[in-house]
Chain A
Amino acid sequence: MERVGSIMGSKLVSSIIPVLFGVLGVLVANLPISFLGGWVPPPLLSLMPVYFWCLVRPDLMSPGWAFAIGVLEDIMSGGPPGIWAASFVATYAVIDRQRDAFAGLSGWAAVLGFATAALIACSTDYTIVGVYFGRLVPLAPYVKEFFVTVLFYVPMAFLLGFVHRRLVGPLRSDI
């Protein structure tokens, strides 16, 4: 009985970790830290765990969680509701359909894979914002955000991989 309880607890913790990283990504990206005088927008840190666990463990990062993390991003960033949520869901849908192609990438190709996901997220967001406000919004901030996000993915991928190997995997006992 104790063993069953322990397994259930481990599964719960391991299923929370990816979502927790998504929430942390939202909070950290929206902290009042302004590097370079606000010239560079903060990276989409919350997209990284969504992408990562959607590839390696989609049962831990479901479309519902991607949506919830996007809603939190909308709340914290001060933008209109649902825009980042829809962008994250659209990105999730593409990754989900092309998982075999994305999951086979390694090294710098994996970064390129994430760059594709970030490009989908940013372009979806750009399109929705344009429709929402009824005009073309400046493209330059999105380009900056895209590059900053891809740049930050390099160290984040190591961190997420480490967490997956040391925490999520052993707790699920299937790595």
Chain B
Amino acid sequence: MANGTWRIARTRGSAHLPLIIVAALAVALILIGKAQSSIFDRARAHVMDWMMPALEASRAPVNVANRWIGSIGEIFTVYQENLRLKEENARLRQWHSTAIALDDRLKRYQLLLHAVPDPALSSVVARVIGRASHPFLQTMILDAGKNNGIKPGQSVVDARGMIGRIFLAGERTSWVILLTDLNSRIPVTIEPGSVHAIIAGDNSASPVIDTFSQGRQLAVGDQVVSSGDGGILPAGLPIGTVVADGKGYRVALFADLSTAQDVEILDFKQPPEQPPALTSNDLPVTAAGLPPEAPPPDTTTPATPQGGGPTPAGPGADLAQAPPATPAVTVAPVQPPAAKKVPGATQPAPAGGTADDGVE
């Protein structure tokens, strides 16, 4: 322990980089990392893929040790635990039959109302091979990556509730940013009352309910589920319950982030929303109740044969068949493509205005 035991060398040698250059390199690295984090993320993913066998190997003895340590304490409470579980099991069976009946009724109602079906949800089960709990970072490393269809943004859940989101996917490993991490922000709904809010991690065990609708009151014990806002996460994933901390509200998470071993990564495939196809009824002239003016006979172009010739396709197909605008009409200039924004459709700019002028 004593430093004075050794002869202290006085010089560093001339071959080494001066301290000031190294300090400048460090600052440059921070700035580059802030501007182009993808370069560093790729390097990190490669290192983790390469280290995956070592991480898995180191995980095994730790798990065995944790199981042994945990089981020693459980020996003394096994009888009470058994009674408690039996009681809980009986209660859950009642809830199970209620849930089945309600699920059946919900499906019937959805059928009657022609409700939009829930988006497809597939999942991949992965094991936790790494867990980092640093002062400003709380992450997990999973043994599934791009080879298993993992993509950044997917939500990660365990048997009890949501744990976090994938933020970096390597070929065989992926990193999860936990709900408790300083950088985590999740849009949620608080039930009952469907209060929309955002929960933010602050490296404590319970994320803060950061923002919620004005004038709404929260109560301790309210259920917090993902809202699905933004279309990134599926709606309705259980997250936790509301607890008060004196200054505001926090979420007591259902999932145990520190002990979760096997997790599920949800692949949320929300179909991209397609705008409805436009018809001639959508034209402003028709919508205003005016009869569409017949196009003037064009003698320069040959008549298209009936049933022949190429048919315009795509979202703007009907627009291509719309009658051309004539300068003599009494209504506003007809701008069919600008009436509704159609992806991929060309929007001619009307005279004296921009193409967006006609957009409601």
**Co-complex (A, B):** yes
Contact A81 B29 (CB under 8 A): yes
Q: Is the interface of A mostly helix, strand, loop or mixed?
A: helix
Shortest CB distance A121–B (Å): 11
Q: Determine whether B115 belongs to the interface, using a CB cutoff of 8 Å to chain A.
A: no
Contact A55 B8 (CB under 8 A): yes
Q: 8 Å CB contacts to B: which residues of A21-67? A: 27, 30-34, 37-39, 41-42, 55-59, 62-64, 66-67
Complex contacts, B32 vs chain A, CB 8 Å: 81-82
Q: Determine whether A17 belongs to the interface, using a CB cutoff of 8 Å to chain B.
A: no
Nearest to B58 among chain A residues (CB) is A31
Contact A78 B137 (CB under 8 A): yes
Shortest CB distance B25–A (Å): 6
Cα(A18)–Cα(B6), bound, Å: 15
Contact A138 B8 (CB under 8 A): no
Partner of B257, one of A38, A57, A102: A38
Q: Determine whether B344 belongs to the interface, using a CB cutoff of 8 Å to chain A.
A: no
Partner of B40, one of A30, A81, A105: A81
Nearest to B9 among chain A residues (CB) is A57
Contact A67 B26 (CB under 8 A): yes
Contact B55 A126 (CB under 8 A): no
- How many A residues have CB within 8 A of the partner chain? 73
Cα(A79)–Cα(B59), bound, Å: 22
Partner of A126, one of B12, B31, B62, B135: B135
| Most chain A C-beta atoms within 10 Å of own C-beta, residue among B33, B62, B133, B136 | B136
Complex contacts, A161 vs chain B, CB 8 Å: 1-2, 5-6
Nearest to B29 among chain A residues (CB) is A82
Q: Determine whether B27 belongs to the interface, using a CB cutoff of 8 Å to chain A.
A: yes
Q: Determine whether B37 belongs to the interface, using a CB cutoff of 8 Å to chain A.
A: yes
Can you list, as one digit per residue, whether each of A129-150 has a CB less than 8 Å from chain B (1) or not (0)? 1001100011001101100000
Q: Determine whether B16 belongs to the interface, using a CB cutoff of 8 Å to chain A.
A: yes
Q: Determine whether B320 belongs to the interface, using a CB cutoff of 8 Å to chain A.
A: no
Complex contacts, A33 vs chain B, CB 8 Å: 58, 62
Q: Determine whether B67 belongs to the interface, using a CB cutoff of 8 Å to chain A.
A: no
Partner of A58, one of B11, B33, B131, B134: B11
Shortest CB distance A38–B (Å): 4
Cα(A76)–Cα(B259), bound, Å: 21
Contact A106 B4 (CB under 8 A): yes
Cα(A86)–Cα(B22), bound, Å: 9
Q: Determine whether B171 belongs to the interface, using a CB cutoff of 8 Å to chain A.
A: no
Complex contacts, A83 vs chain B, CB 8 Å: 30
Complex contacts, A96 vs chain B, CB 8 Å: 19
Partner of A175, one of B7, B13, B31, B37: B7
Complex contacts, A128 vs chain B, CB 8 Å: 30
Can you list, as one digit per residue, whether each of B37-74 has a CB less than 8 Å from chain A (1) or not (0)? 10010011001000000110011001000000000000
Decide: A64 near B22, CB < 8 A? Known: A56-B9, A71-B29, A78-B44: yes
Contact A41 B133 (CB under 8 A): yes
Cα(A25)–Cα(B314), bound, Å: 60
Nearest to B133 among chain A residues (CB) is A38
Cα(A155)–Cα(B324), bound, Å: 86
| Most chain A C-beta atoms within 10 Å of own C-beta, residue among B16, B134, B182, B183 | B134
Decide: A129 near B136, CB < 8 A? Known: A32-B141, A59-B9, A138-B204: yes
Contact B202 A138 (CB under 8 A): yes
Q: Determine whether A157 belongs to the interface, using a CB cutoff of 8 Å to chain B.
A: yes
Complex contacts, A67 vs chain B, CB 8 Å: 22, 25-26
Complex contacts, A70 vs chain B, CB 8 Å: 26
Can you list, as one digit per residue, whether each of B166-186 has a CB less than 8 Å from chain A (1) or not (0)? 000000000100000011000
Shortest CB distance A43–B (Å): 11
Can you list, as one digit per residue, whether each of A105-116 has a CB less than 8 Å from chain B (1) or not (0)? 111101101000
Shortest CB distance A130–B (Å): 9
Q: Determine whether B290 belongs to the interface, using a CB cutoff of 8 Å to chain A.
A: no
Contact B6 A77 (CB under 8 A): no
Cα(A157)–Cα(B37), bound, Å: 36
Those 6 A-B pairs whose CB atoms lie nearest each other, nearest first? A81-B33, A82-B29, A106-B2, A82-B30, A141-B135, A62-B16
| A→B interface (CB under 8 Å) | 27, 30-34, 37-39, 41-42, 55-59, 62-64, 66-67, 70-71, 74-83, 85-86, 89-90, 92-93, 96, 99, 102-108, 110-111, 113, 122, 125-126, 128-129, 132-133, 137-138, 141-142, 144-145, 154, 157-158, 161, 164-165, 169, 174-175
15 contacts between A and B (CB under 8 A): A30-B132, A38-B133, A42-B133, A55-B3, A59-B9, A59-B16, A67-B25, A75-B43, A80-B34, A80-B40, A85-B26, A86-B27, A89-B26, A113-B3, A161-B1
| B→A interface (CB under 8 Å) | 1-9, 11-13, 16-19, 22-23, 25-34, 37, 40, 43-44, 47, 54-55, 58-59, 62, 128-139, 141, 175, 182-183, 202-204, 257-259
